[in-house]
Structure 1
Amino acid sequence: MTWFASPTDVVERLTATGYLADAATATTTFLAGALEKPMLVEGPAGVGKTELAKAISRATGAELVRLQCYEGLDEARALYEWNYKKQLLRIQASSGDQEWSATHDDIFTDEFLLTRPLLTAIRREEPTVLLIDEVDKTDVEVEGLLLEVLSDFQVTIPELGTVEAVRRPLVVLTSNASRELSEALKRRCLYLHLDYPDAEREREIVSSQVPGLEDKVAEQLVATVGRLRELELKKAPSIAESVDWARTLIALEIRDLDDKAVNDTLGVVLKHSSDHDRAIRELRLRK
């Protein structure tokens, strides 16, 4: 499968899904498909890393398979595990009727295999986008598993043998850079850094997602979000929260983002009371 014809094709097709990609994003996405290499997308939370994988899935019609990473994630949750309860029932049902070797061969089959995201993506014959989300939250041991899978796109199951990908998925790994990933993992990936967009780009994104927003309000909103991101907050506003704020202003029929309007709706973009207090203090908002 040819994922995209060119970087320009990436821009056009992602734009059609509502995702505005810059030149670096378009080029890296095109190369990920053309070279069949995983794409590591790194940057602060809320800049569109996960949404990029979803947009690629929508633009290409490929199925999205997502592995949400977290501390304590293990092979059983990422790759596969056996349905032990079902196996036990089969053993009990066949007890005394056949030799253990025959029972062993009977219970270690696809019927008893519970596939998790990595194995699911490898076994799929249809076009697939594999999203490995927030890979920096996993333990280092999980990276070893990812190295094996992403190097050859195959998995060895001792009881069944080696499962090799018939059609390689397009792989997107995202990271908030909460810890440094191993050089071995990075070597296997194309790298893309996403940051908060500049004011003009964010205004385009917000306006495309919220068509009814007036230009004046869009400019006020983007300028205010930019000022908020310059503060030392626990959680800076994401692009998605900018869009939510725009929809809020539409719903409340606010046509001028003055101090009162910001004060009344600040909870849409700031989710910590300390951030809320700091914003009011630093922006000198009047109630």
Structure 2
Amino acid sequence: MASSMGILRRAGATAMISGLALAFAANSAFAAETYRTWYEVSIFGLNIAKSGFETKVNDGSYDLSGKLSSSGVARIFDKTDGTIRVTGSASGASVVPASYEVKYKNGKKNKRTVIDFSGDGTVSQVENTPPVKKRAPWVETGPNDLKSVADPLSGLMIRATDLKSVCGRTLHIFDGQTRADLQLSYAGIKPFTTKGFKGDAVTCSVKFVPISGYQKGKEAIEYLKNKSKISISFASLGDSGIYAPVAASIGTQIGTVSVFANRFEKIN
């Protein structure tokens, strides 16, 4: 069975399950509050990964920490455990990430990615341990690719006036290796219910467009670019004007990965 963390990384599922937790920070920028969220990732109806996040918000800043791990049948073949931490500032409905760090262990292999941002959305520093293996023909990432981008945790928080206005835009994402655009198109509005939320959610069809930081012609990238059916559902967080992912479906070469926010709650 393919690595479950690899599936998450290639399909962008980490972004889906983390953006919601960060959006709580944007919604509560000036209150000392803590939120806890839980998510499940599945394929073929089988749970393959789970995650839990805690977001602390205090005096205009946020600090998110979380854990991800393979689970269910996937853990029999692939033991993967990881942690995520994001820090930044929030002012009203605007979220400005300052740092992003993800670490995980797959079997005996340890991997770590750190991204630092300047205040204008420009990547100021990136570190990958071990270094990225650049296999020819490699599409190199240039300085202009790293301007006005977001890390995969905060990139899916969207400010909009209503549900229908969420789609119809392009998101610029950088995960420490690959720079990609996500082009969102309106697909419809349906009711959505989970623990802590009941209301409508808008679904956007997503076109994955690789920009740089990848091996040209690589099958996984080509599949996501040309064949994958991707959708993300967004829900409103109160009156904040912020819309964040609550569910996603990502077609991969081995099947469709589903992400679902099954719980999020304020704990103090």
Q: TM-score range by the shorter chain?
A: under 0.3
Structure 1 or 2, whichever has the larger Rg, is 1
Q: Which has the higher strand share?
A: 2
TM-score, length-normalised on structure 2? 0.27
TM-score, length-normalised on structure 1? 0.26
